[in-house]
Amino acid sequence: MSLALGPSGVVFEALSPKIGRQRVPSSGKSSAALRCRIISVNMLIARKIAQRLAETRFGRWAMAEEVDLGVFRAKPSARFYLGLCLMALSYLLGLPAMALCGYLAHAWKEPLILPLGVGAVFVAVLLIFAAGVYLAGANYAKILLRWFASRFLRIHLSHSKRQ
């Protein structure tokens, strides 16, 4: 008897090749066993990624020394706040502007407005977001990326050494 996850998220139980598959409710022992197997497969994948990442120059750089998060304790500059505002503005402008392009294309019966308008809005929003990231500071992103990579590697490499 084997378990399989169907396309709609229902757990299937294969009884025999002649009978085929029968639906089994997703609660109970069978789904708990399947969840445990899925989690163990995910952990195995994460360990493999951590082992490969530790072999790269980036992985060695992330693990070299403890990451100093003191930069986040200091009071941010006005430039940082302006960058955050630009990033938020890009999110706030994007979807309504694209919806407006769709409405105008429908109202004016010009279907070409939709792809051209949405493309132009997408580029404008992307440029606004990129300007916000630049102003907010790439050093914050670099520090957070190094901290996250270091933490990921320490957790998953220590799990692989135990087993």
Distance between CA 123 and CA 116 in Å, rounded?
11
pLDDT in tens, the chain (163 residues): 445 544 444 444 444 444 445 454 555 556 666 666 666 777 788 888 888 988 999 888 888 888 888 878 888 889 989 998 999 999 999 989 999 999 999 999 999 999 999 999 999 999 999 999 899 887 787 888 888 999 999 888 886 555 5
> pLDDT value at position 17?
47
> pLDDT value at position 12?
44
> pLDDT value at position 140?
81
> pLDDT value at position 32?
65
Distances (CA, A) of 6 to 1, 13, 49: 16, 10, 27
> pLDDT value at position 160?
57
Which distant-in-sequence residues (6+ apart) come within 8 Å of 132 by Cβ? 82, 83, 84, 85, 86, 87, 88, 89, 90
Distance between CA 13 and CA 114 in Å, rounded?
47
- Beta-bridge partner residues of 22: 13
| Look-up of token digits 């708990």 | 32
Distance between CA 38 and CA 128 in Å, rounded?
40
> pLDDT value at position 131?
94
Distance between CA 32 and CA 51 in Å, rounded?
29
